[in-house]
Amino acid sequence: MVKRALITGITGQDGAYLAKFLLEKGYEVFGTYRRLSTPNFWRLEYLGIFDKVNLIPVELSDTGSIVEALKISEPDEVYHLAAQSFVEASFESPVATGDITGLATTRILEAIRQVCLDVKFYNAATSEMFGATGFLNGGKPLSENDVFRPMSPYAAAKLYGYWITKIYREGYKIFAVNGILFNHESPLRGLEFVTRKIANEVAKIKLGLSNELRLGNLNAKRDWGYAPEYVESMWLMLQRDEPDDYVIATGEAHSVKEFAESAFEIVGLNWEDHVRVDKRFIRPLDVPHLVGDYSKAERVLGWKPRTKFNKLVEIMVREEVGRWSRWLKGERFPWDAPNYPSENRILTRALRM
Ligand code: NAP
Ligand code: G4F
């Protein structure tokens, strides 16, 4: 029997990589997306899977549309990735972040409880939930047993999602897991996140299209891994006999300054000639230090990171240099030419009537 997976947030970085991974495993893949005036399927196109996934329009604020997506896709596994995922924006829209990043997890779990109790459910939790702990413990790698001290509306919303996932697991015996993933990056990362912002701007500066990179807190340290490897861990968590929570990380912390330094070095430039600190990018509160202990994932899931910091920076910078070089020759980015999926790839409730 072909397995069926439903991914919320299939248009995001992880959603796209996970969809590709599951297609390669032989799954039938369904993904939810939100209706926008301009379609946002560039990552699916970029990975060459745009015509291979089934798309279901869903509003995460509307439980009815979530129920409908479950009925249409009849999944064996649900990967809940959709969220307002940008920490900085959560300070600007704390209530909307609470609703979409936090409460929507309950809407999905409640729909599963009512419609398909046997489904396996993955919740995208985050290292951001540890917040101040990563600093207060003297920078020791954080494990599943460490205390959460969230420092942003985003982290508070994710912590709510984390607990509600455990509550539905214990209360209703749903196979529900939390993946506590540390930062993971790739050329498909959103442009506002610091790694892609740096890689993109470094490439433009190298090619003479820009001269300056404006950043916020250069001292913050993060544990940065490579996204395609991290989505595999999501799948591994759902293949176990018992549901549990896992930290996924590389075990190394590097500062934003180190990332910038290394990125400029790759193209033969000195970061100090181009980086300027701009207070617009400094958050009301910022998690100072995050590094993860992935030993449980290695022991139980057989998962470990393969791409370490320097390689990750190189992958991201080289990809941006390639993109902007092609752009200079007249080639446009996939996101400059929005595409619409063929009709038989969009599934709506009308199909069931
Ligand atoms: P991402 O690229 O920002 O993707 C987020 C997805 O959520 C996109 O498909 C986005 O749709 C969708 N979304 C956002 N707001 C929505 C709304 N109001 N209604 C419906 N859909 C909405 O994030 P990611 O990096 O792939 O991360 C995937 C998940 O893992 C997120 O829950 C994130 O919080 C969590 N996480 C990420 C990391 C990381 O380092 N990447 C680490 C830990 C946890 P559009 O494409 O239409 O915007
Ligand atoms: O790239 P960031 O915006 O990622 P952040 O805040 O760590 O959140 C990401 O990772 C979380 C996992 O821990 C996810 F849950 C979350 O969804 C997201 O994927 O910022 C990283 C660091 C921060 O300390 C920030 O203050 O970089 C610092 N920074 C310095 N200058 C900047 C900038 N961040 C951004 N986005 N833009 C800057 O100009």
- Please write the tens of the pLDDT for every residue from 72-112: 999 999 999 999 999 999 999 999 999 999 999 999 999 99
Unique residue bearing structure tokens 């400029």: 264
Binding site membership of 187 for ligand 1 (Cβ less than 6 Å): no
What pLDDT sits at residue 349? 74
Ligand nearest, relative to CA of residue 135: 2
Residue 194 Cα to ligand 2 midpoint, Å, equals 6
Residue 86 Cα to ligand 1 midpoint, Å, equals 8
Q: How confident is the model at residue 117 (pLDDT cuts 50, 70, 90)?
A: confident
What pLDDT sits at residue 82? 98
Q: How confident is the model at residue 353 (pLDDT cuts 50, 70, 90)?
A: low
Q: What is the CATH number of the domain that holds 109?
A: 3.40.50.720
| Closest CA to ligand 2's atom 37 | 194
> Do 78 and 5 touch, CB atoms closer than 8 A?
yes
Q: What three-state secondary structure class fits 249? A: coil
Average pLDDT, the chain: 95
Choose the residue to mutate in 135, 193, 312 for probing ligand 2, maximizing ligand atoms within 8 Å of C-beta. Answer: 193
Unique residue bearing structure tokens 């101040």: 132
Task: Say how far apart CA 264 and CA 211 lie, in whole Å.
Answer: 12
Task: Say how far apart CA 254 and CA 258 lie, in whole Å.
Answer: 6
Q: CA 112, 230, 266: angle at the middle one, nearest 5?
A: 150
Q: How confident is the model at residue 348 (pLDDT cuts 50, 70, 90)?
A: confident
Share of the chain above pLDDT 90, in %: 91
Number of domains in the chain: 1
What pLDDT sits at residue 38? 81
* Residue 240 in this model has a pLDDT that exceeds 90: yes
**Residue 164 burial (C-beta neighbours within 10 Å; 0-12, 13-18, 19+):** buried
* Tens digit of each residue's pLDDT (9 = 90 or more) over 241-289: 999 999 999 999 999 999 999 999 999 999 999 999 999 999 999 999 9
Q: CA 78, 110, 94: angle at the middle one, nearest 5?
A: 90
Mean pLDDT across 123-132: 98
* Nearby residues of 190 by Cβ (< 8 Å), 6 or more positions away: 12, 13, 85, 86, 196
Share of the chain above pLDDT 70, in %: 98
Q: In angstroms, how far is CA 232 from the centroid of its own chain?
A: 13
Helices (H), the chain: 13-24, 42-46, 63-73, 87-92, 94-97, 104-115, 133-136, 153-172, 194-206, 227-238, 256-266, 295-296, 309-328
* Residue 342 in this model has a pLDDT that exceeds 90: no
Task: Say how far apart CA 267 and CA 270 lie, in whole Å.
Answer: 9
* Residue 350 in this model has a pLDDT that exceeds 80: no
What pLDDT sits at residue 338? 65
Mean pLDDT across 187-213: 97
What pLDDT sits at residue 151? 98
Task: Say how far apart CA 36 and CA 242 lie, in whole Å.
Answer: 38
* Tens digit of each residue's pLDDT (9 = 90 or more) over 208-224: 999 999 999 999 999 99
Mean pLDDT across 175-198: 98
* Tens digit of each residue's pLDDT (9 = 90 or more) over 305-340: 999 999 999 999 999 999 999 999 998 877 766 677
Binding site membership of 54 for ligand 2 (Cβ less than 6 Å): no
Q: Which domain holds residue 113?
A: 4-352
Q: Dihedral angle at the C-alpha atoms of 140, 144, 147, 148, nearest 10 degrees? A: 110
Task: Say how far apart CA 101 and CA 87 lie, in whole Å.
Answer: 11
| Closest CA to ligand 2's atom 39 | 215
Task: Say how far apart CA 63 and CA 80 lie, in whole Å.
Answer: 14
* Tens digit of each residue's pLDDT (9 = 90 or more) over 11-47: 999 999 999 999 999 999 999 999 888 888 999 999 9
**What length does the chain have?**
353
